[in-house]
Structure 1
Amino acid sequence: MTAGAPAPDAAPVLDVSGLRVEVGGRSVVDGLDLVLRAGEATALVGRSGSGKSLTARALTGLLPEGAERSGTARFTSADGTGADLLALPSGRMRAVRGPGIGYAFQEAQASLNPTVTVGAHLKETLKAHGVERAARRERGLAALRAAGLEAPERLWHAHPFELSGGQAQRVALALACVLEPRLLIADEVTSALDPLTQAGVLDMLRARTGAGGSLLLITHDLAVAARWADRVAVLDGGRIAESGPAGEVLRSPRHPFTQELVRAAAPTGAAAAVAASRTAGGVL
């Protein structure tokens, strides 16, 4: 656990119990349980197609047409009020997305409208949640700076197709964070970035937990989970096979599937990253 992280008995930001997602009559997520706490980053890891992104989309009401979900997902906002996300009508869910839960998608360019400028994206998001017109530009620029974009004024009138991959990803993250959500879901947001840009983006995401936020980092990369997450939850067969402090789970996995993941990741340096962070008393 990182310095300043909450005690284990701290009230959860999100408490998911028995989450099930069916697509085309096939169960993809089958009884998933997950707890996210303030001040912590949790990595949800698993093989491709294991249901990681569907889990996140189910929690935020963004499932594809025809998919069905059940279970409970108790979300507690910053003011202490709670609601079951899976029971909210669509109108109330839209109100929670943004100030309560921010979602950064894997394909940044695809999540941005190519005909709308960066500034217009941000202003429209702020407008939709009642932010006064006079404050929208400054709040939007501040979100771009917080996402690591220098001189954001130069990008304010740019269209998404004029951005580099790294810039587009940071703009998408600024959109997800501009309303300062209590929970941020980052879905494979660095998979297409070079290592240096990836590290900068993940450092920015990790820093959000220092202000009492909670981060759900969806990734297939165990090295990312080892360096930037406090806790790891391993998804296999639609359920959490193993969860706990990142160092413990990745250094001494108990479940056969987690053991398999760690062995497969060893050539990429994931095991070395975990060992080094443990020895140096680093991020984890």
Structure 2
Amino acid sequence: MTNTTSEITLKVEGVNKWLGDNHVLRGVDISVRKGEIVCVLGPSGSGKSTLLRCINHLAPVEAGMIEVGGERIGYELINGVLYEQSERQVAKARQRIGMVFQHFNLFGHLTALQNVTFGPINVLKRSKGASNEKARELLGLVGLADFESSYPGQLSGGQQQRVAIARALAMEPRLMMFDEPTSALDPELVGEVLTTMRKVAEEGMTMLVVTHEVGFAREVADRVVFIDGGRVIEDGPAREVLDNPRHERTQSFLSRVN
């Protein structure tokens, strides 16, 4: 676990999201302090992944507010009226958020090193030399220093996911979000990705992790948020929520996955 400060990196307030007739998120409130690791648990279909997509404005919200680093994501308030931001404004806002998906989404025609440097060179306009130096440092952090010249097709699923983590970190985000980062992996590869995430946590990165890995949440998380039916059912210190959940829905869920 990490030391946290009072500075709020992520603020989700009263967020509602519909997908057709399905009210997926129902007034969700979550805050994450700088340096804090928050794991989000809940059954399939509870709205966990949709929440991450809303934070990144991959899915616009119908009501509520999302801020990262004190700046609103997706919308801006002008003379008391909310307007959706332009694609350019949203893209700039997303630079503050690193996102690691279930599937790795690496560029198949680029090496591991080139995948990690792509964003810094093309989006942040950093020099190739500085970007390569930083990328090699990050590949070392995720345990892939010897694989910088490998293409995704030459890497295992766990290795590809670790490259994806390094790629997200290369953009120097204020917040790292993980959407079930081990769910697409063979069981024997899960451990290496979780070990990498522990290293990232030890570096002091602010993290919001949607996961079904209760053991990881118990070991690494500062707080656990349990979501069901699009609502936050329970939110508290990780050990407290996992060992002594107050809500019977949380108790029922944990009894099946522990």
TM-score when normalising by structure 2: 0.88
Whole-angstrom CA distance in 1 between matches of 2:203 and 2:157: 28
Between the two proteins, the alignment pairs up a number of residues equal to: 248
Aligned equivalent of 1:276? none
- 2:74 match: secondary structure: helix
Aligned equivalent of 2:181? 189
Q: Over aligned residues, Cα RMSD in angstroms?
A: 2.0
Aligned equivalent of 1:101? 97
Distance 1:220 1:182, change over 3 A: same
Q: Paired residue for 1:86, among 67, 74, 91?
A: 74
Whether the 8 Å contact between 2:141 and 2:199 is mirrored in structure 1 is: no
Which segments of 5 or more consecutive residues in structure 1 lack a partner in the other structure? 77-81, 267-284
Matched letter for residue 93 of structure 2: V
Alpha-carbon offset, residue 154 of structure 1: 3.5
1:42-75 deviation per Cα after TM superposition (whole angstroms, max 9, x unaligned): 0011011111111001110123xxx654311121
Whether the 8 Å contact between 1:19 and 1:69 is mirrored in structure 2 is: yes
Aligned equivalent of 1:44? 40
- 1:20 match: secondary structure: strand
1:161-180 deviation per Cα after TM superposition (whole angstroms, max 9, x unaligned): 22111111111111111122
Alpha-carbon offset, residue 195 of structure 1: 5.6
Q: Paired residue for 2:191, among 199, 202, 205?
A: 199
Alpha-carbon offset, residue 196 of structure 1: 6.0
Aligned equivalent of 1:279? none
Whether the 8 Å contact between 2:28 and 2:230 is mirrored in structure 1 is: yes
Matched letter for residue 250 of structure 1: L
Whole-angstrom CA distance in 1 between matches of 2:245 and 2:148: 47
Whether the 8 Å contact between 1:58 and 1:69 is mirrored in structure 2 is: no
> How do residues 1-284 of structure 1 correspond to structure 2 at under 5 angstroms?
2=1, 5-6=3-4, 10-63=6-59, 68-76=61-69, 82-87=70-75, 89=85, 90-98=87-95, 100-108=96-104, 111-127=105-121, 128-155=123-150, 158=151, 160-193=152-185, 197-266=189-258
- 1:96 match: secondary structure: helix
Instruction: Decide which moves more: 31-40 or 223-232.
Output: 223-232
Whole-angstrom CA distance in 2 between matches of 1:134 and 1:113: 20
Whole-angstrom CA distance in 2 between matches of 1:40 and 1:197: 26
- 2:109 match: secondary structure: coil
Whether the 8 Å contact between 1:95 and 1:129 is mirrored in structure 2 is: no
Whether the 8 Å contact between 2:116 and 2:163 is mirrored in structure 1 is: no
Distance 1:91 1:168, change over 3 A: same
Alpha-carbon offset, residue 95 of structure 1: 1.7
